[in-house]
Amino acid sequence: MAAGRKRWVWVADAVAAASVLGAGAWALLGRRLASESGPPEAPRGAIFKPRANLFATLALLSMGAAVAGGLGWWWLWPRGDYVRRVGFTIDQPVPFSHQHHVAGLGIDCRFCHNAVEVGTNAALPPTYTCMTCHSQIWTNADLLAPVRRSLAEDKPIVWGRVTNLPDYVYFNHSIHIAKGVGCSSCHGAVAEMPLMAKAATMTMEWCLSCHRNPGPQLRPASEIYNTEWQRTPDTPSPEALLTQYHVGGRNLTECSICHR
Ligand code: HEC
Ligand code: HEC
Ligand code: HEC
Ligand code: HEC
Ligand code: HEC
How many structural domains does the chain have? 2
Rounded distance, CA 26 to CA 251, Å? Answer: 49
Q: What is the pTM of this model?
A: 0.86
Residues 79 and 168 in one domain: no
Q: Which ligand is nearest to the CA of 224?
A: 2
Collapsing DSSP states into helix, strand and coil, what is residue 197?
strand
- Asked if residue 209 is part of any domain, the answer here is yes
- Asked if residue 244 is part of any domain, the answer here is yes
Residue among 214, 185, 210, 211 nearest 200 (CA): 185
- Asked if residue 172 is part of any domain, the answer here is yes
Residues 240 and 111 in one domain: yes
Other beta carbons less than 10 A from residue 229's beta carbon: 18
| Averaged pLDDT in 10-residue chunks for the chain of 260 residues | 52 77 77 60 67 91 95 87 84 94 96 93 93 88 92 93 94 97 96 94 95 96 96 94 93 95
- Asked if residue 221 is part of any domain, the answer here is yes
Q: Which ligand is nearest to the CA of 199?
A: 1
Domain range spanning residue 220? 98-124+159-258
Residues 195 and 110 in one domain: yes
175 lines ligand 3 (CB under 6 A): no
Rounded distance, CA 239 to CA 34, Å? Answer: 66
Return all residues near 203 (Cβ < 8 A) that are at least 6 apart: 79, 84
Rounded distance, CA 257 to CA 6, Å? Answer: 29
Q: Which ligand is nearest to the CA of 186?
A: 2
pLDDT at 35: 61
- Asked if residue 25 is part of any domain, the answer here is no
Return all residues near 116 (Cβ < 8 A) that are at least 6 apart: 109, 110, 122, 123, 173, 174, 177, 183
CB 147 within 8 A of CB 159: no
Rounded distance, CA 51 to CA 30, Å? Answer: 13
Residues 78 and 103 in one domain: no
pLDDT at 3: 39
Rounded distance, CA 190 to CA 254, Å? Answer: 30
Residues 187 and 244 in one domain: yes
Residues 194 and 241 in one domain: yes
Residues 179 and 61 in one domain: no
Centre of ligand 2 to C-alpha 38, Å, is 66
Centre of ligand 1 to C-alpha 124, Å, is 7
173 lines ligand 2 (CB under 6 A): yes
- Asked if residue 148 is part of any domain, the answer here is no
Residues 111 and 62 in one domain: no
Closest Cα to atom 22, ligand 5: which residue?
A: 204
Q: What values do phi and psi take at 228, rounded to 5?
A: -100, 0
pLDDT at 4: 43
Closest Cα to atom 41, ligand 2: which residue?
A: 183
- Asked if residue 133 is part of any domain, the answer here is no
Residues 58 and 120 in one domain: no
171 lines ligand 1 (CB under 6 A): no
pLDDT at 14: 81
- Asked if residue 177 is part of any domain, the answer here is yes
Residues 115 and 217 in one domain: yes
